[in-house]
Every structure is written in structure tokens, then in C-alpha cells.
Amino acid sequence: MRNKLGLCLMLGLAVNTLLFSGLAQAVSFSRFNVKLNGIGVSADNSRANNQRLFVSLGKGFAAAKPFNPVLKYENAGNYVFECGGVKLKSGATCHLKPVKYGDSSQVIRLYNKGRLADTYTLIFTNLPVIEINTSTDIINTPKVPGSIRLMSGEFKQDTGKRSMGIELRGQTTQAFSKKSYGFQFGSGKKNPKIRLLNMPAGDDWILDASYADTSFARNLVSFDIFNQIHPNKDKNRPRGQNAIKGHLAEAIVNGKYAGVYVLDQHVGPTLLGLKPTKGTVIYKADFAQWKQNLFFPYKKGDIEVNFSQTYPKTKADFTPLKKLIDFVAKADEFNFTDNIAGQIDLAGLADWYLLTKATQASDNTSKNFFLAKNAKGKFFVVPWDHNAILGMSWDGKPEPVSTFFATADNNLINRLLQYPDTNFALILKKRWAVLRKSVFTEAKLLARFDQYHAQLVHGGAITRNSNRWPQPGTVGTDKGISNPKLSTRKYMSNFLKVRLPAMDAYIRGL
């Protein structure tokens, strides 16, 4: 009897604690749809004693300055928020102390019938904040339904909660602790195209965990370069890009801070500006199981193993790709020389080749690129997956700088360089002479990485990510994955001091 009485007393005490102590789990923050100056805030409520609200600030907060936002919230009932030490109705101005990127010294409190329910620490970030919620675990395939919301003070955008499907992305990277995601807007056959930040509207997007690359910028820098040196000038796809764009962001997944991610576009007909007609195709060179040799004579089934059709998403048709490969592999010297320029865009191919070789993208001439075309156009190349460049392997381990420039794995490049009358070597020489002065200098390449690093440092995102994912690659299934030293300025500088002069010598010798 005494034991039962003691148990009842303890249960009663636990109930009282839940009712009156204001534990964070008692209230769902999302129900209030809190906004500051029209931009939502997202709650990391994974820790009951240290709940955090992520506020994406606009431009100009590198140093502390006044921030007096209008506070709005919904479904208040008996709840009221206290901001700046004052309890406010929705639509009132909140007078905070001066803030700057990275500030975490201020709080918002939530009261219910005058009793404190929750306290939230405000985290002021310079990056967009992405909030993802699903009712089940996110898996490899199929996509699971959920909602996503992007909030950015800099771009003055709050998408509100949007329905979407989401899945894990990558192959070997799915084994990493920090997962990458692919998501598509919509909840069925209708997939609305939505503009995110300053990127063109699309329905299909990527959240790259960049777990191995602790700079978070190798992909971003490569694609920025390609978009700069090879902007789209094809009149048949006037709104298309030749490479994706991306942005650093912070993500909160199912109420838990998930760290820094790279929000990327997805390569598809909308991005490339292709016409959705029969004969328009996009193929990805991705598996490299065909002895890692492309555009060579092949046996039945080889092409389907080494390429995947990403558009259209109906029954695969490799006929256009087989015609290109057959031409490259079988055409005699004169036929090849006279007609290769009508099969594929050589200017874009040259810029892509220079980018991959200058940055030592070792994987990217045999896989990790797209070939796309309009029904009546010629193929053009789209770069992809440049996370393993500048002295880093795919798993974050060092890849020593090389002065060797092999092309044996790509017969298209081999034949273009084999026959002088294709003018491909001349194209490379002329382009390299221009780009070596304007883009591919050590100082300008490092400046691109500095820019992204500054974004991570200004608001403390790099520290928050490190706290969430401490010492990547040191324990468990991640052991050996990622080496933060490879993302330092010193390491990249030492790499470029060898690779760029070696590239000069290689181009001169063509």
C-alpha cells in the first residue's frame, strides 16, 4: 500500500510539473506561425532547456544596429508572446536591443493565461532558413509526403508551408550521418514551379549536406565559374542556364536543427530551357561501370549501365545518345572532323573540359555530367557533382595534386584532340589564354571560396553546424570520411600553386 501511495504521489508531481513548469514539449510552436517583419521564424525544439528560434535577417547586420520588427502570430487563444520584455498582441512592434548576424543574446517568451509556457532563444542568421516536416522517416525511395518552408530576410521571401515529397539523395553518401535530400513541390501529379531566392522557378530541388566537403563551396564555386564563362546564348532555349545555381542555408528537419546545407537547383528541362517536345532528352553519365570508358565501341547493354535518362521520365529511349556515341566511336577521320561540330556544342565542351582539368575533377570526364539536347538541336554538356576537386576525393580524403592530364577514359575528347582539323585543341588554347587571366588565377579562385566562407562565419552558421556534426568522419560508419584541413585556404593555395602551372604546360603542349 505504501508503494502504491508513493507511486501516486510521484505521478501527481510529474503531472504538475508538466502543467506548470512550461516544458517546451507542451506547446507546438508551429501552430502560431510567428513572423517578424513578414518573414517566418523556425523553431529548433529538440532540446527542452534550450529551444531556439532561427531568424533570417536581411542585409546590413554585419555590425549591431536597431531591429524593431512587427511581430505577428496566429491561433493565439489564451497565448501571448513577450518580445523585448513586453507582452504584445499580434501586429505590434517588438523593440529589441540592437542585433547583428550571429547574435543569440535575446529571447522571446510565450505565456498561457499569464503563466510562462516557453522561452525561445533568438538566433539571428544571415542565411536563409529551411524548415522541413514529415510524418514518417525520410527514406531513399519513394518520396515521403511532407511540408517545406523557406524563409529569407535577405531575399524578402517566405514561401509559407508548401506540400512536397522528399527522399534521400546520393549513392555512397547515403551512408553518412548527415543526409542529403531531394524534394519536389506538390502532393501528386501537380508539381508547381516555385522561385526560391534569386533562382529561376522550379519544382525539383536539392538540399546537399556537403558532409565530406567542409568548405560547403566546391560545387558552388565550380558551377558559378561555368555559368560565368559559358552563359547560355542558344536562341532555342533563351531562358535556360548551362549549370545549376545554389545557396547556403540552414535547415531544421522535423523540429531539429540539421546544420548547414546547400540549396541547389535540379538539372531538368526547366533549368536548361529545353522544349518539352518528343525528342528532347537529358542523359546523365553516372555509374562508370563500363571500364570507365565513354564514347568507345560498346556491347549491348553498356550504354544503359553507364547512362541514365533523366528526361523524359517516361520509358527510356537511348536512341539519340546511341547515335552520338556510334558517330564518335565509328566515324572515320574525315567524317568525324567534318561533322562533330554539328553533333555537340564544342565551345561548351571546351569550357567544361578546362574547368574539370584545372580543378582536378578526376571523376568528371567519365561520369558526373549531363548530355542534353532539344529535339532538333545538338547535344551540349552540363557539369555536375564537382564536390571532389582541388585535392579532395569524394569521401573527403586527400587527393594529391597531379601534373598529369589523362583523357584515356573519354574517347570523344581523345578524338577531338587527335585530329587537328577539328580545331578543338585551338579552341582550348584560345579559351585558356583568356580564362587564365580572368578566372583561373589562384587569387580569384581563392576569393570565391573566401566569399562563401565569410557567409558561414558572419552569422555563426559554421559553428552551429560543427556543434551539430562534431568532427565529421572520426567515428562509426563515417570514420575516415572528410578532412577539414582540405577546405582551408592554405591547402587550396598550395594545390593551385602546382596545378595551374601544370595546366599551362599541358595546354601549351596540345
Residue pair 61/100 in contact (Cβ under 8 Å)? The answer is yes
Q: Are residues 99 and 182 in the same domain?
A: no
- C-alpha 195/C-alpha 158 separation (Å) is 11
Domain boundary among 65, 91, 124: 124
Q: Which domain holds residue 335?
A: 274-508
Look up residue 32 and give its amino acid: F
477 in a structural domain = yes
pLDDT of the residue at 498: 98
Q: Are residues 310 and 381 in the same domain?
A: yes
Closest to 218 measured CA to CA, from 184, 246, 257: 246
- C-alpha 325/C-alpha 331 separation (Å) is 10
92 in a structural domain = yes
Q: Are residues 154 and 101 in the same domain?
A: no
Closest to 373 measured CA to CA, from 305, 309, 304: 309
216 in a structural domain = no
Q: Are residues 245 and 327 in the same domain?
A: no
pLDDT of the residue at 171: 75
Closest to 366 measured CA to CA, from 413, 424, 433: 413
Residue 205, C-beta contacts closer than 8 angstroms, at least 6 positions apart: 182, 183, 184, 185, 196, 263, 264, 265, 266
Q: Are residues 312 and 440 in the same domain?
A: yes
Q: How far is CA 178 from the centre of its chain?
A: 13
Q: Which residues pair with 302 in a beta bridge?
A: none
pLDDT of the residue at 480: 65
Q: Are residues 339 and 473 in the same domain?
A: yes
pLDDT of the residue at 16: 37
Residue 323, C-beta contacts closer than 8 angstroms, at least 6 positions apart: none
Read off the pLDDT of residues 180-232 as tens digits, 9 standing for 90 and up: 999 999 987 789 999 999 999 999 999 999 998 999 999 999 999 999 999 99
Query: 496 in helix, strand or coil?
Result: helix
Q: Are residues 99 and 174 in the same domain?
A: no
Q: DSSP state, 342? A: G
Read off the pLDDT of residues 297-345 as tens digits, 9 standing for 90 and up: 988 888 888 899 999 988 889 999 999 999 999 999 999 999 999 999 9
Look up residue 186 and give its amino acid: G
226 in a structural domain = no
Query: 137 in helix, strand or coil?
Result: coil
CA dihedral 64, 69, 74, 77 (to 10 degrees): 90
223 in a structural domain = no
Q: DSSP state, 51? A: -
Phi, psi (degrees; rounded to nearest 5) at 218: -60, -50
Q: Are residues 188 and 44 in the same domain?
A: no
Q: Model pTM?
A: 0.91
Q: Are residues 327 and 290 in the same domain?
A: yes
Residue pair 391/360 in contact (Cβ under 8 Å)? The answer is yes
- C-alpha 312/C-alpha 485 separation (Å) is 41
Look up residue 281 and give its amino acid: V
Residue pair 130/137 in contact (Cβ under 8 Å)? The answer is no
Q: Are residues 66 and 179 in the same domain?
A: no
Q: Are residues 177 and 256 in the same domain?
A: yes
Domain boundary among 106, 124, 142: 124
Q: Are residues 160 and 72 in the same domain?
A: no
Tell me how crowded residue 5 is: count the other CB atoms within 10 A of its CB.
9
Q: Exposed (0-12), middle (13-18) or buried (19+): which is 58, by Cβ within 10 Å?
A: middle
Domain boundary among 124, 141, 170: 124
Kindly give the parts of the chain with pLDDT less than 70. 1-26, 287-292, 471-480
17 in a structural domain = no
The domain total for the chain is: 3
471 in a structural domain = yes
- C-alpha 356/C-alpha 346 separation (Å) is 15
Read off the pLDDT of residues 34-65 as tens digits, 9 standing for 90 and up: 999 999 999 998 877 779 999 999 999 999 99
First-to-last C-alpha distance (Å) of the chain: 93
Residue pair 45/25 in contact (Cβ under 8 Å)? The answer is yes
- C-alpha 439/C-alpha 213 separation (Å) is 22
Q: How far is CA 373 from the centre of its chain?
A: 24
